[in-house]
């Protein structure tokens, strides 16, 4: 189910950069203390409840350092775990396991943190036919992983970047001299495979967007009442996305208005890492 | 004061990756709607109180897209601002300003978020001769910027990575068969320019580390009483770092124990972005 | 009008690779013969009729070698020119102009060749409300430029790659056990911003796709009669794309069937370069 | 026989770029529909007669995505095949085979297209001791593969770039003030391992070049009579290369003049891809 | 013992660059003459006495070209060998062995050359508790390998670059207006994990540095008498480093002064390669 | 005269790597002490007699850090200077000048060291019509600069790598079963623009190579008498290259034998850097 990590060249490069950043010219502590022929097992455990994701990334971190590392996943990405759950076991040279530990955990904790908060939002709205969406407010350089995390938490992805879908915002509308003219410019030039979304600030803009037959209409910072009216006006002729100021406290109320989509910047712009750690075991010298 | 951003080749590459990630094959919305000869001004403002940092990064984001962008900083990095404060003004092609907006803000909001939380910790301990430190629990790929953010918030940096200082942890000690033997291995091999820190879990380990004349001793998850005893035992013969489970609520109490350094993972592993936004103004066609 | 080249980081890297490939360790002919202080003017002309595109790429080729090169475009990309038309004038060091000549022309001739053939297809169907589309059958590494060329010739772009739109082909359908099940899997997982297209081989598959409310239906290698029937069945409930075996000879007939889109692999998989050349003039020593 | 592809680092990077370009953040169709544990076989066949080349590149495309792909070549590069011939069989995860298909075919079709047209030119002149040569008019970024394709079609390579041989053209001669002075400058500076070729436009320039003992003389756009005279004058004291306006219709006549080499830009600047396709078979779930 | 080469991503990139530089578009000699199915054994021998280092680098050179190469080390890095000693045996395709030979030897000879000269300096001072150090006067791009070579020769590394330790030199002191003010600026900003060294030109500067409690004091170009006085003044309160004009002739005299460290630029800025060569044996066709 | 440095993309990348290696996350000394608004002048001087080369590289080092640096060359590359000669003056931010100093000098000293030793060999043979050549025994990653240095010292370059000329060595001959068969294989496949050189170990091999009409014959480790005989046998029908064991002491004697070329590995495999240093002057705060 869902997009793969292992064969993705972009993720490979992200991991390489992260290892270069942390290890640079060498792990001077481990290389001084840990003999190169020492084998060990690393146990990765969750220290708190949450939804885990990113195990393939952690695996690739260690394998990039030494192709002979064996990394066994004990759960699938997207699994909700309780405190103490073993997530994976790593076998190989003790040095490599220690070298890769921090980078692997940094990835795993962040990706799991995002999956966990996303999952909480999804839980809140589980009684409604609405999707929880991410935004482009992601950590620079890690978008592909953060959008993966959102999916693993039960959410859905908005457009990936500026290149794969059209989102006409207030500034575009202002420059174009109105929604109609802005959408027109786009429709004439854009691929037939590309959807068009327009951000509206009031119901009259909503009307205008609807007439232009756009695919999605984003209600920017509207209150629940206005959203409900918007849903009635649109009547399924476009998807409706609620956006702006959404929290765990108000998301259920917003879902009740009947919108199709709820996009939430804080899924990725303000992340609390999930607490995950690694223990070393079974150290033994290779004969 | 402090490390520069503008001439740093690593940061240049981070920004390039971030732009590639977001813009990819092109900003299909702006390129369809905004004529290439349209000029505009972008005003970057803080939407909440906090410590701002990363303005040079934001500047480089826009200049990387078009070298003719003029970016005027209105404050220096490290300044505490109130809601509504103008941070910078950008003049140039409207398209470029819209293209770069999200990436610039993603950097600026995160860096400022870290500076802000760091500044809060520093404020708590301002009556004590103690440094607030970051850790290696940073976002993969952004460590150089996140450690810069910590400095701008008034904190200090711990080692940058595995390569520039020695930190002997429990796993190293276990493999080496004790602190003495671990430190010995390191001292024989390491550069005279490299400091050695040892993580200890109790006062008897502390004693052992002290005898080995290490530079810094990290007290791992000790309570305040034990820390106070540790400070008495060490008597300035090494720096003492408190680590593990430190929050805004308990940091002052820990500072009172007399430790020299307090390292805090959540400065960077669980960041709340500072709310910063951009408005477009003065749109005009270039004759 | 349309997507920009100058600020695109991907194109920058493509140009750098092309220069490395051709110049490598140095242009040993020019560097032995042409003094470094010699200035010249290069005149780029079309040697045959066609639609020209790629002038910004040619400009960047020379400026990458020496930032002081002045490159004056004499026409806009997308202009149809006759034999002998001057396209651009380049002023700067004679060495740089000679070094960059072949790479600049290699880009310009190919991009213009694609724009020219696209323009011929568009001309054939100009009386019908139909779009001429490219495919993913592009030259490895140059897709962004080849899709630009298609737009400059009056055509439109299909999806850019495997990542920005869904196209369910025969193999996907076979594995999923039918169109319904394939579309279902996708709809459950895919972003709301992503369109779904299904390739069908007969009218019963068409019916099935229509029931699944996909956005676009591709008619794979159907004859005109069947296409006409398909148009009647679909009645605007989805866009219809004709694909397979389309040539300048039959494209008008296909347009007449009422399909919305005609995709043509040979726009990019079998390109005849437009004949464009450069003359050197006004050689003078810089005092 | 001939230059290897599998160990070449440049080709590795070209393939990586091509995959990044097509797959980017992921193949959203296949990843939604094809389970990751599904195995399949892909059969690559030629859909028309021609000379096939590039099978190692196709192999590397799939193996770069997943190192466990098994790619069996059924013919050697440079083989002339008839319609329907199986060229290779690929076994591995169905997803990987579908992901890599288009990129692999894009390479294979272009390389085979160049090999095929080259082979036609070679066939025309097979009764004469003359070599068919390529030029630098190659696709930016793919020169190493296109020059390989020419060799596989029976042709030979001219210099690879500006760095590995000297070719003095009209502009160099004009700036230097004559062939003699141009050749002189070069001979004084150039490596003894580097050959020198001069482009001449008439028999008096030919005479001048001959006196300077250059290695090769290129006859630029001369008619057959003049070429015949040139061959008599040179009498084997230099190699003679015919260049400019050569087609399948006139190449035999030019070969009859007795020139040693015939260089043909359209081998690479105007390529018709060979029609090659892939079928998926034997889909089975991995237990 | 000590820092690893095999898992280092930086070294991987250095090797890749070196292969690209030498092999580029292909080894046209070997690829024309050596059939691809020919297997051979290469024997790497030292042609002179010295300390060998860099065997892992040589191994990676060959394995980067073909992962099936088997490379057997016959000695450990850091071993002193006599003329004729076999250092390693390589088994695999004859072409790959010939292709990689020069690059592998270029690395091995240089690294061994540095290890050898370092070892001579260490031998001279073996009766004294002093470390022989390298400097930043290394070959651009190869510092990580050259510093490894110094360690293998028995020496120690000074700071790796400008980023991992502070060294306050005359220019810094001049700008800051004295040692005190310079050290002060640094102490306020720098990480507690970073050591501070000050370069002094006379005993009064030494006094000043000592008062500022710096970690290391570098005596710049002092004579032995002054050094001896410096040692007495410092009395172990800082490490003392002798620097400037040190040769095999005077290093023992300097060691006798009681300094802790002696840094020597010529270990890396003026290297004589160790003479090492490769023979090919046991050529056989793979059936 | 000669190959350019400023426009070369390869050199640009070499410089970037060198700066990354030395500066990494920042120059923590200068950034702590030197205010960012301080301007200074750096004077680069030679501290010993020699031939200077690489000033453009030094210039690019500083400009890469800050595009506003002004670098004035006081001499041309290839100039012989006496001790104390000013080579260049640099004006700009004091921080940038201090940051770039070591990297710039590391390049300049090595390139000048190679130019200087080459110049000494050229001086020895100045009475004979013979060229002094380099080999492929260069520092990995720096070949383009080291070959430039050889030219600046008055020497000439042998082939650049394995890709731009054929050199058939003993191992190739052994595998092919003799010189005749080896040369034959090559001649059938290689570009007409590529020269062929054969290494011979005795006069009978020389005879065989001569019959195959190769371009250059390398005499491997022959004594002067045999070389003289070889010259008589060849009589100008090929160029003759002396190789192996050549020193400043015997190079004149070898030149006297009448060989055309003398190749010398130690020009680049065992380099003594030229002593060059930088002084800082005129420090002033920018108002």
Q: Read off the CATH number of the domain in which F85 is found.
A: 3.90.1170.20
Q: What is the mean pLDDT of residues C80-94?
A: 97
Burial of F243 (0-12, 13-18, 19+ CB in 10 A): buried
C-beta atoms surrounding E229 within 10 Å: 15
Phi/psi class of residue B2: alpha, beta or left (left: φ > 0; alpha: ψ in -120 to 50)? Answer: left
Give the span between the Cα atoms of B66 and B96, in whole angstroms: 7
Q: What is the mean pLDDT of residues F36-49?
A: 95
Same domain, C171 and C233: yes
pLDDT value of residue E285? 76
Alpha-helical runs (H) found in F125-196: 143-152, 170-176, 179-189
C-beta atoms surrounding D73 within 10 Å: 16
Element at F232 (helix H, strand E):
helix F224-234
Same domain, D179 and D235: yes
* DSSP tag of D156: B
**Residues of chain B contacting A280 with CB distance shorter than 8 Å:** 171, 174-175
Residue from F8, F162, F189, F191 whose CB has the most chain D CBs within 10 Å, to mutate: F191
Same domain, C50 and C169: no
Residue F220, beta-bridge partner list:
F243
Burial of D83 (0-12, 13-18, 19+ CB in 10 A): exposed
Does the active-site annotation cover C220? yes
Give the span between the Cα atoms of B32 and A218, in whole angstroms: 19
Q: Position of tokens 């952690």?
A: A58
Q: Read off the CATH number of the domain in which F257 is found.
A: 3.20.20.70
**Which pair of structure tokens corresponds to residue A66?**
């030494």
Q: Position of tokens 């440094």?
A: B131
Q: What is the mean pLDDT of residues C197-219?
A: 97
**Which pair of structure tokens corresponds to residue D242?**
């015919």
Contact B185 A94 (CB under 8 A): no
For E122, the 3-state DSSP assignment is: helix
Contacts with D153 (C-beta within 8 Å, 6 or more apart), sequence order: D51, D53, D78, D114, D115, D116, D117, D118, D119, D122, D267
* DSSP tag of A28: H
Backbone angles phi, psi at F18, to 5 degrees: -65, -40
Nearest Cα to F146, choosing from C286, D12, E18? E18
Contact D131 F260 (CB under 8 A): no
Q: What angle do CA F166, F169, F175 make, to 5 degrees?
A: 105
pLDDT value of residue B227? 97
A88, A95, E59, E60, F270 from E12: Cα distances, Å: 28, 18, 11, 8, 24
Under-70 pLDDT residues of chain E: 1-3, 286-287
**D24 contacts chain A (CB < 8 A):** yes
Q: What is the mean pLDDT of residues A38-51?
A: 96
State the number of CA atoms in the 13 A half-sphere of E52 facing the CB. 30
pLDDT value of residue D3? 62
Q: Per-residue pLDDT for F272 more than 80?
A: yes
Q: Are C274 and C81 in contact (CB under 8 A)?
A: no
Backbone angles phi, psi at F262, to 5 degrees: -130, 115
pLDDT value of residue F287? 56
C-beta atoms surrounding E122 within 10 Å: 19
The string of DSSP codes covering B30-75 is HHHHS-TTEEEEEEEEESS-EEE--HHHHHHHHHHH-TT-EEEESS
**F107 contacts chain E (CB < 8 A):** yes
Residue from D191, D197, D237, D238 whose CB has the most chain F CBs within 10 Å, to mutate: D191
Q: Are A226 and A243 in contact (CB under 8 A)?
A: no
Same domain, E81 and E186: no
Same domain, C101 and C199: no
Q: What is the mean pLDDT of residues A220-226?
A: 96
- Candidates A162, A164, A272; nearest CB to B270: A272
Nearest Cα to F54, choosing from F35, F79, F24, F32? F79
Same domain, C178 and C191: yes
Closest residue of chain C to B17, computed from CA coordinates: C9
Chain F closest-CA separation from residue B114 CA (Å): 19
Q: Position of tokens 């930086």?
A: E10
Alpha-helical runs (H) found in chain E: 9-23, 28-33, 55-65, 94-124, 143-152, 170-176, 179-189, 203-211, 224-234, 251-256, 266-269
Q: What is the mean pLDDT of residues A46-56?
A: 98
pLDDT value of residue C274? 98
* DSSP tag of C50: E
Q: Per-residue pLDDT for C1 more than 70?
A: no
Helix, strand, coil fractions of chain C, as percent rounded to 5: 40, 25, 35
Same domain, F98 and F158: no
**Which pair of structure tokens corresponds to residue A129?**
């036919």
Same domain, A173 and A261: yes
Closest residue of chain B to C9, computed from CA coordinates: B20
**Which pair of structure tokens corresponds to residue B34?**
């905004």
**Which pair of structure tokens corresponds to residue D270?**
């105007």
**Residues of chain F contacting D187 with CB distance shorter than 8 Å:** none
Closest residue of chain F to B144, computed from CA coordinates: F25
How many whole angstroms from its chain centre is CA B221?
Answer: 22
Q: What is the mean pLDDT of residues D85-106?
A: 97
Nearest Cα to E275, choosing from E121, E82, E97, E78? E82
Chain F closest-CA separation from residue D45 CA (Å): 29
Same domain, C276 and C242: no
Would strands C239-243 and C216-220 be described as parallel, antiparallel, or unpaired?
parallel
Same domain, D260 and D135: yes
**D205 contacts chain A (CB < 8 A):** no
pLDDT value of residue E1? 40
Give the span between the Cα atoms of A145 and A3, in whole angstroms: 11
Which residue in the list F64, F137, F180, F228 is annotated as catalytic? F137
For F175, the 3-state DSSP assignment is: helix
pLDDT in tens, B191-244: 999 999 999 999 999 999 999 999 999 999 999 999 999 999 999 999 999 999
**Which pair of structure tokens corresponds to residue F37?**
């608004």
**C10 contacts chain B (CB < 8 A):** yes
Residue D40, beta-bridge partner list:
D92
Residue from D1, D4, D63, D78 whose CB has the most chain E CBs within 10 Å, to mutate: D4
Same domain, F133 and F245: yes
Burial of D219 (0-12, 13-18, 19+ CB in 10 A): buried
State the number of CA atoms in the 13 A half-sphere of B21 facing the CB. 27
**Which pair of structure tokens corresponds to residue A98?**
């220690």
Total domains in the fold of chain E: 2
Contact A8 D23 (CB under 8 A): yes
Contact E95 D4 (CB under 8 A): yes
pTM flag (> 0.90):
yes
Contacts with B41 (C-beta within 8 Å, 6 or more apart), sequence order: B89, B90, B91, B280, B281, B282
pLDDT value of residue D286? 64
Task: Render the burial of D144-160: b for 16+ CB within 10 Å, e for the rest.
Answer: bbbbbbbbbbbbbbbbb
Does the active-site annotation cover E102? yes
Q: Per-residue pLDDT for D1 more than 90?
A: no
pLDDT in tens, A127-148: 999 999 999 999 999 999 999 9
C-beta atoms surrounding E12 within 10 Å: 16
Task: Render the burial of A101-111: b for 16+ CB within 10 Å, e for the rest.
Answer: bbbbbbbbbbb
* DSSP tag of E50: E
Give the span between the Cα atoms of D107 and D111, in whole angstroms: 6
pLDDT value of residue B251? 98
**E9 contacts chain A (CB < 8 A):** yes
pLDDT category of residue F286 using cuts at 50, 70 and 90: low
* DSSP tag of B245: S
Give the span between the Cα atoms of F196 and F185, in whole angstroms: 12
How many whole angstroms from its chain centre is CA B234?
Answer: 29
* DSSP tag of C44: E
Q: Per-residue pLDDT for D4 more than 80?
A: no
State the number of CA atoms in the 13 A half-sphere of C274 facing the CB. 35
pLDDT value of residue D6? 82
Number of residues that this document lists for chain E: 287
Q: Chains meeting F at 3+ CB pairs closer than 8 A?
A: B, C, D, E
pLDDT in tens, C237-250: 999 999 999 999 99
Q: Per-residue pLDDT for D34 more than 50?
A: yes
Residues 134-153 (D) with a CB less than 8 A from some CB of E: 144, 147
Give the domain range for residue E81.
5-116+272-285
**Has the ipTM of the complex gone over 0.85?**
yes
Chain mean pLDDT for chain C: 95
Give the span between the Cα atoms of D266 and B149, in whole angstroms: 57
Same domain, B157 and B109: no
**F64 contacts chain B (CB < 8 A):** yes
Q: Per-residue pLDDT for B1 more than 50?
A: no
């Amino acid at each position: 189910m869902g997009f793969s990590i292992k064969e993705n060249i972009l993720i490979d490069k992200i991991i390489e950069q992260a290892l270069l950043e942390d290890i640079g010219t060498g792990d001077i502590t481990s290389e001084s203390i840990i003999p190169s022929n020492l084998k060990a097992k690393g146990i990765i455990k969750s220290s708190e409840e949450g939804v885990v994701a990113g195990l393939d990334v952690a695996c690739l971190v260690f394998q990039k350092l030494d192709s002979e590392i064996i990394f066994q996943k004990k759960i699938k990405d997207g699994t909700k775990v309780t405190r103490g759950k073993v997530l994976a076991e790593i076998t190989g040279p003790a040095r490599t396991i220690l070298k890769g530990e921090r980078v692997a955990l940094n990835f795993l904790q962040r990706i799991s943190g995002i999956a966990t908060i996303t999952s909480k939002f999804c839980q809140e709205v589980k009684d409604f036919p609405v999707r929880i969406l991410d935004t482009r407010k992601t950590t620079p350089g890690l978008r592909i992983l953060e959008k993966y995390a959102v999916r693993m938490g039960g959410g859905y992805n908005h457009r990936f970047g500026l290149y794969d879908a059209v989102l006409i915002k207030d500034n575009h509308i202002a420059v174009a001299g109105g929604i109609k003219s802005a959408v027109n410019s786009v429709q004439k030039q854009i691929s037939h495979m590309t959807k068009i979304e327009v951000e509206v600030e009031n119901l009259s803009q909503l009307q205008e967007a609807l007439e232009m037959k756009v695919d999605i209409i984003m209600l920017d910072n509207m209150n629940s009442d206005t959203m409900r009216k918007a849903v009635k006006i649109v009547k399924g002729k476009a998807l409706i996305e609620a956006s702006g100021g959404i929290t765990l406290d108000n998301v259920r109320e917003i879902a009740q208005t009947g919108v199709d989509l709820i996009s939430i910047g804080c899924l990725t712009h303000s992340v609390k890492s999930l607490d995950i750690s690694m223990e070393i075991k079974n150290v033994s010298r290779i004969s």
